[in-house]
């Protein structure tokens, strides 16, 4: 049995945070769910179940709702709660326990003692604060602690570095995909969760934010997205059956429904990239979409997304100006004194009070729906670089607005996208021009020629913002 556990721990998805043998008197394996809020096709839960089967133990899933998750507001907590409801139901069907806790007094360590955990399995997350939590916890625990890279196709430790450009990354990614782009086994637990005394659990149907006095409630839920695995799978089916075939021609048309709109579900872990990628490949194999459309989509889903994860994992300053590519940093500093065509405050930007109706429409789409089309995200960020007092302020404002309003904010994809648009990360030098220097520009006139900008503006014209 130790050899089998060692084999499991040696998988590239698994990082052993605290080594050692499982607790001899342990009564279960605990999966501390954070980033991957789903039960099906969840590599972290698969590891926990496999370990439980080897040890002859059931698995209990714990999710802790904390009142002060960094930069989260009511919009994010509402979407999270919808996903937790699905997870609780799916856990019961699969034979694993699901415990929801939200009191500050209910620490993870207390729960581990309460259920006599033999081993702790958790999620990986490259962002700064969750990684700090894991490192602190690993030093305090008295039992083995493993984390699993559950929300990328190819485990990040395989590459162990970042890449300057996507075309540098693609060959390495392509070589590894056959090893990891495979359907999860969805291992059945051999020992169902049936404790003599059920641990106390907060009902997922009740308001998980009740009593959170310091929670930012000024950004409310949206009706454009419903959280959870069921809705994610429904949306995936709609995309691969109806929209994927036109992805190549419609993906850069913000006025059309030409993209998957799955990024909020990926961010909250309601669905995994392997599930999406396999569905896309199947649609192409069955003739519901062209191979070219499928490859273009997978380049976004796997190529750009996993490049972003590597960027955040290996760049300490991923969410501020200091992450600028050296060439972009030099050229932006050289052009800091250039006259700006407009100067706006953060408040004016937040309320979409600029003279650029296309930009205003993008800001309203984000504020009112919790999502912005990717093509507009590039334009949105680049115009702020042009309007803010300096590049550092522009980057700070973009991150603040992105994390505040986007359902998929506070995510490696968002940080890498802002870094690409503003400070040249994963891009190359362009032609020298005022304000931007050698950073690739986007103008209202050139952008509006690529799609029906007037229709997009009309779609997002009304309604209060900010």
pLDDT at 463 over 60: no
* Cα dihedral: 200, 204, 205, 208 (round 10): 90
Spatial separation of the C-alpha atoms in residues 120 and 132, rounded to whole Å:
17
- Which residues, including other chains, have CB under 8 Å from residue 166's CB and lie 6 or more apart? 303, 304, 307, 426
| pLDDT band with cut points at 50, 70 and 90 for residue 466 | very low
- Can you say how many angstroms the Cα of residue 15 is from the centroid of all Cα atoms in its chain? 20
* DSSP class per residue in 192-221: ----SSPPP---TTS-TTTT-TTSB-SS--
pLDDT of residue 276: 98
Spatial separation of the C-alpha atoms in residues 288 and 296, rounded to whole Å:
15
Q: Supply φ then ψ for residue 344, to 5 degrees.
A: -125, 150
pLDDT of residue 106: 86
Of 210, 268, 272, the C-alpha closest to 82 is 268
Of 112, 85, 96, the C-alpha closest to 53 is 96
The two structure tokens encoding residue 41: 């096709």
pLDDT at 130 over 90: yes
Sign of CA dihedral 453, 455, 458, 460: negative
Question: What pLDDT digit, counting tens, does each position of 25-50 carry?
Answer: 999 999 999 999 999 999 999 999 99
- Which residues, including other chains, have CB under 8 Å from residue 299's CB and lie 6 or more apart? none
> For residue 23, how many other CB atoms are within 10 A of its CB?
17
| pLDDT band with cut points at 50, 70 and 90 for residue 462 | confident
Spatial separation of the C-alpha atoms in residues 286 and 189, rounded to whole Å:
33
Question: What pLDDT digit, counting tens, does each position of 97-108 carry?
Answer: 999 999 777 899
- Given a contact cutoff of 8 angstroms between Cβ atoms, the answer to whether 423 and 328 are in contact is yes
User: Residue with structure tokens 């032609």?
Assistant: 431
- Which residues, including other chains, have CB under 8 Å from residue 434's CB and lie 6 or more apart? 335, 338, 339
Spatial separation of the C-alpha atoms in residues 177 and 154, rounded to whole Å:
7
Q: Supply φ then ψ for residue 454, to 5 degrees.
A: -65, -40
The two structure tokens encoding residue 30: 């605990």
In total, the chain counts a number of residues equal to 466
Computed over its alpha carbons, how large is the radius of gyration of the chain?
Answer: 23
> For residue 258, how many other CB atoms are within 10 A of its CB?
21
- Given a contact cutoff of 8 angstroms between Cβ atoms, the answer to whether 115 and 28 are in contact is yes
Q: What letters, b where the CB count within 10 A reaches 16 and e where it falls short, cover 433-464?
A: eebbbbbbbbeeeebbeebebeebbeebeeee
Of 146, 122, 119, the C-alpha closest to 52 is 119
Residue 179 three-state SS: helix
Taking residues 6-22, what's their average pLDDT? Answer: 97
pLDDT of residue 2: 76
| pLDDT band with cut points at 50, 70 and 90 for residue 412 | very high
* Cα dihedral: 423, 428, 431, 435 (round 10): 0
Residue 378 three-state SS: helix
Question: What pLDDT digit, counting tens, does each position of 165-208 carry?
Answer: 999 999 999 999 999 999 988 899 999 999 999 999 999 999 99
pLDDT at 213 over 50: yes
- Given a contact cutoff of 8 angstroms between Cβ atoms, the answer to whether 408 and 260 are in contact is no
Spatial separation of the C-alpha atoms in residues 429 and 270, rounded to whole Å:
37
Question: What pLDDT digit, counting tens, does each position of 320-346 carry?
Answer: 999 999 999 999 999 999 999 999 999
Question: What pLDDT digit, counting tens, does each position of 54-112 carry?
Answer: 999 999 999 999 999 999 999 999 999 999 999 999 999 999 999 999 977 789 999 99
pLDDT of residue 105: 79
Domains for the chain: give ranges and CATH numbers.
2-150 (3.40.50.620), 229-314 (1.25.40.80), 321-459 (1.10.579.10)
Strands of 145-148's sheet in order across: 14-18, 145-148, 117-123, 28-32, 59-64, 97-101
Q: Supply φ then ψ for residue 7, to 5 degrees.
A: -60, -45
Q: What does the mean pLDDT of the chain come to?
A: 96
- Can you say how many angstroms the Cα of residue 122 is from the centroid of all Cα atoms in its chain? 16
Question: What pLDDT digit, counting tens, does each position of 231-286 carry?
Answer: 999 999 999 999 999 999 999 999 998 999 999 999 999 999 999 999 999 999 99
Q: Is the full-model pTM beyond 0.85?
A: yes
Q: Supply φ then ψ for residue 273, to 5 degrees.
A: -65, -30
- Can you say how many angstroms the Cα of residue 186 is from the centroid of all Cα atoms in its chain? 22
């Amino acid at each position: 049995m130790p050899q089998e556990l060692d084999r499991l721990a040696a998988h590239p998805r698994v990082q052993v945070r605290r080594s050692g043998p499982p607790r001899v008197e342990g009564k279960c394996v605990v999966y501390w769910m954070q980033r991957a809020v789903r039960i099906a096709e969840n590599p972290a839960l698969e590891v926990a179940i496999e370990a439980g089967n080897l040890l002859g133990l059931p698995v209990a899933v714990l999710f802790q709702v904390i009142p002060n998750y960094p930069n989260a507001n009511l919009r994010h907590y509402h979407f999270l709660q919808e996903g937790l409801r699905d997870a609780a139901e799916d856990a019961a069907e699969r034979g694993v326990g699901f415990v929801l806790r939200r009191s500050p007094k209910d620490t993870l360590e207390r729960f581990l003692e309460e259920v006599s955990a033999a081993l702790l399995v958790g999620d990986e997350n490259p962002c700064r604060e969750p990684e700090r939590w894991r490192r602190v916890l690993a030093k305090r625990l008295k039992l083995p602690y493993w984390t699993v890279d559950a929300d990328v196709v190819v485990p990040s430790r395989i590459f162990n570095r970042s890449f300057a450009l996507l075309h540098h990354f693609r060959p390495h990614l392509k070589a590894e995909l056959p090893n990891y782009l495979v359907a999860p086994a969805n291992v059945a637990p051999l020992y169902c969760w049936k404790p003599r005394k059920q641990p106390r659990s907060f009902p997922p149907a009740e308001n998980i934010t009740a009593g959170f006095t310091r929670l930012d409630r000024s950004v409310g839920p949206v009706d454009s997205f419903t959280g959870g695995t069921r809705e994610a799978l429904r949306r995936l089916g709609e995309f691969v059956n109806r929209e994927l075939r036109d992805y190549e021609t419609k993906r850069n048309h913000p006025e059309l429904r030409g993209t998957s709109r799955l990024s909020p579900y990926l961010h909250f872990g309601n669905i995994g990239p392997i599930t999406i990628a396999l569905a896309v490949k199947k649609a192409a194999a069955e003739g519901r979409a062209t191979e070219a459309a499928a490859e273009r989509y997978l380049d976004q889903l796997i190529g750009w997304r996993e490049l972003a994860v590597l960027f955040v994992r290996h760049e300490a300053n991923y969410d501020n100006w200091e992450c600028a590519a050296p060439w972009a940093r030099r050229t932006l500093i050289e052009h800091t004194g250039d006259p700006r065509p407009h100067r706006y405050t953060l408040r004016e930007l937040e309320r979409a009070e600029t003279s650029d109706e296309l930009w205003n429409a993008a800001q309203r789409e984000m504020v009112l729906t919790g999502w912005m089309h990717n093509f507009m995200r590039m334009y949105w960020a680049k115009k702020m670089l042009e309007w803010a007092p300096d590049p550092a302020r522009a980057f700070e404002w973009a991150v603040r607005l992105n994390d505040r309003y986007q359902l998929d904010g506070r995510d490696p994809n968002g940080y890498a996208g802002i870094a690409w648009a503003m400070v040249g990360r994963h891009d190359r030098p362009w032609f020298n021009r005022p304000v931007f220097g050698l950073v690739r520009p986007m103008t209202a006139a050139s952008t509006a020629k690529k799609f029906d900008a007037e229709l997009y503006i009309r779609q997002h014209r009304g309604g209060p913002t900010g």
